[in-house]
Amino acid sequence: MRHVRVIGIGAGNPEHMTVQAITALNSADVLFIPTKGAEKAALAQARRDICTRFLTRDVHTQEFAVPVRRSDADYTETVNAWHAAIAQTYADLIATLTETQTAAFLVWGDPSLYDSTIRILERVKDMGQVAFDYDVIPGITSIQALCASHRIPLNLIGKPVHITTGRAASTEDFSNGASAVVMLDGEQAFNRLHEHDATIYWGAYLGSAQEITVAGNLAEVADTITKARAEARAANGWIMDTYLIRTAKDFDV
């Protein structure tokens, strides 16, 4: 049966690649690499660099354009339609494999965290156009990269961790002592949070040569982050940033 490997490649440093990921990469006959857009181009280059560095055999690379998401309808409806289009793209790619071939998707960070490769592959299976099975190789997430760069534990002692998006963050309560990680934030939601005595640990392009980090009291460093973010985005044409917000300390009750 055709086999697909979903390989977590880490969040920006080729050395995030685990031994398991390198072995999986070298077990594939074809690598499916997404392209398109400034951000996608940079990420496609990072994937190519990983291939150059870790492939020990000849593996065919198949680049493909990721369908573009419409933004004119309801969020859920838009994402659903977008995933349907990507599922068809994946089905067509997988159909190019022979019955005994293995292909791999190189997924940024870890495939379980704000990534839809797994749910889209399930969708492709449900479509019934092409038979295949798949496995998942875990990767280092941008959250781990953020914590490592700031030399902080993710959670406070005995306290929970909340992971959310910029879109949801502005309506959430950050004052309960949990550590809150905000991802996919194009709106700098930290500027709208009410917890001004919180501490923020922010990082962009984590793990890469362009990495920028800022940490401190939210009210004091918010402008510095906004400025650094805008400048870096203008210089590079894209940005990926993540931050952690805390309103308490270890041993606070």
Q: Which residues bind ligand SAM (CB under 6 A)?
A: 11-12, 108-110, 113-115, 141-142, 145, 183-184, 203-207, 240-242
Instruction: Tell me how far, at minimum, the Cβ of 223 lies from ligand SAM, in Å.
Output: 20
Instruction: Tell me how far, at minimum, the Cβ of 34 lies from ligand SAM, in Å.
Output: 12
Instruction: Tell me how far, at minimum, the Cβ of 119 lies from ligand SAM, in Å.
Output: 13
Q: Which is nearer to ligand SAM, 89 or 101 (CB)?
A: 89
CB 78 within 8 A of CB 68: no
Instruction: Tell me how far, at minimum, the Cβ of 209 lies from ligand SAM, in Å.
Output: 11
For tokens 């940033």, name the residue.
241
Q: Which is nearer to ligand SAM, 97 or 106 (CB)?
A: 106
Which alpha helices (DSSP H) does 55-210 contain, by range? 75-95, 117-127, 142-150, 166-169
Instruction: Tell me how far, at minimum, the Cβ of 128 lies from ligand SAM, in Å.
Output: 28
HSE of 252 in the Cβ direction (CA atoms, 13 Å)? Answer: 13
Instruction: Tell me how far, at minimum, the Cβ of 205 lies from ligand SAM, in Å.
Output: 5
Q: Which is nearer to ligand SAM, 29 or 114 (CB)?
A: 114
SS3 49: helix
Which of 194, 162, 193 has the alpha carbon at shortest distance from 177? 162
Q: Which is nearer to ligand SAM, 90 or 115 (CB)?
A: 115
The three-point CA angle 150-152-153 to 5° equals 145
Question: Which residue number places its CB atom closest to ligand SAM?
Answer: 109
Could you give the CA distance from residue 131 to residue 143 in angstroms, rounded to a whole number?
A: 34
For tokens 């190519």, name the residue.
48
Instruction: Tell me how far, at minimum, the Cβ of 114 lies from ligand SAM, in Å.
Output: 4
SS3 212: strand
Q: Which is nearer to ligand SAM, 106 or 178 (CB)?
A: 106
Q: Which is nearer to ligand SAM, 97 or 104 (CB)?
A: 104
**Identity (one letter) of the amino acid at 1?**
M
Q: Which is nearer to ligand SAM, 105 or 108 (CB)?
A: 108
Q: At how many degrees (to 10) do helices 117-127 and 75-95 cross? A: 70
Total residues belonging to the chain: 253
CA distances in angstroms from 17 to 129, 172, 189, 196, 229, listed in the order given: 32, 34, 31, 37, 27
Tokens of 12: 């920006």
